[in-house]
Amino acid sequence: MATTRTYRVDDPHPELTRNRGWFIALGIILLILGVFAFANLLLATVASVYFIGIMMILGGIAQMVLAMRVRGWGRTLLLLIAGVLYILAGFFAFVNPVLASTLLTLVLAASLLVAGVLRFVVALQERPRKGWGWVLAGGIVSFIVALIIFAGWPVNSLWVLGLFLSADLIVQGVAWLFFGIALGSAR
């Protein structure tokens, strides 16, 4: 019979401490990529156009699959509409990424605006259920991001997506770097 050991939160798993260097390396790599992306916002925008396209297609498919699974729910059409909008915006990214950045930024803002409103409506309709606040928060965040993008469009189209990508890379790099460092001090 195998014995299992339980770990306290402040007692890192041996696999984590044994591989802490990989966490530190990942953090450093992500930081370097984030700084590179920040220094090359146009290139980062093109890369993020492709990335956003892929993620929106996958997200749209996931929403549509969920909509088909909950057909009797009464809010299926809202999920389908949000899924279709995400898929359309995602495919557009691959047509011409540089020119598409202007329109994709606008489509992205419009999709986020509509998705935010739809999530807000769904959240209010589901208010008696646990977790409805998370749907509401997601809708509010989508709506605010859409307004920020609209406010600077079309001037921001060649750099705003790259800026978001570089910021994410830097934040993730710092997070993994300090996680790896903390694993060494937790021994």
Q: Which residues contact residue 158 at a Cβ distance below 8 angstroms, ignoring those fewer than 6 apart?
A: 41, 42, 45, 101, 102
Distance CA 81, CA 22 (A): 41
Q: What is the pLDDT of residues 9-68, one digit of tens each?
A: 555 677 878 888 998 999 999 999 999 999 999 999 998 888 878 998 999 999 999 999
The mean predicted confidence, pLDDT, of the chain is 86
- 180: tokens are 């790896």
Q: Which two tokens stand for residue 15?
A: 């696999």
pLDDT in the model for residue 103: 83
Contact 44, 161 (CB under 8 A): yes
Structure tokens at 37: 């992306």
Using an 8 Å Cβ cutoff, are 60 and 87 in contact? Answer: yes
Instruction: Kindly state the DSSP code that residue 11 receives in the 8-state scheme.
Output: S
Residue-level pLDDT at 74: 81
Distances 67 to 23, 58, 77, 81, 102 between C-alpha atoms, Å: 37, 14, 8, 10, 30
In terms of Cα–Cα distance, which of 101, 92, 91, 98 is closest to 157? 101
**pLDDT digits over 75-97, tens only?**
889 999 999 998 987 888 787 88
Residue with tokens 């696999």: 15
Going by the DSSP 8-state scheme, the letter that residue 155 receives in this structure is G
| Closest among 102, 106, 101, 104 to 146, alpha carbons compared | 106
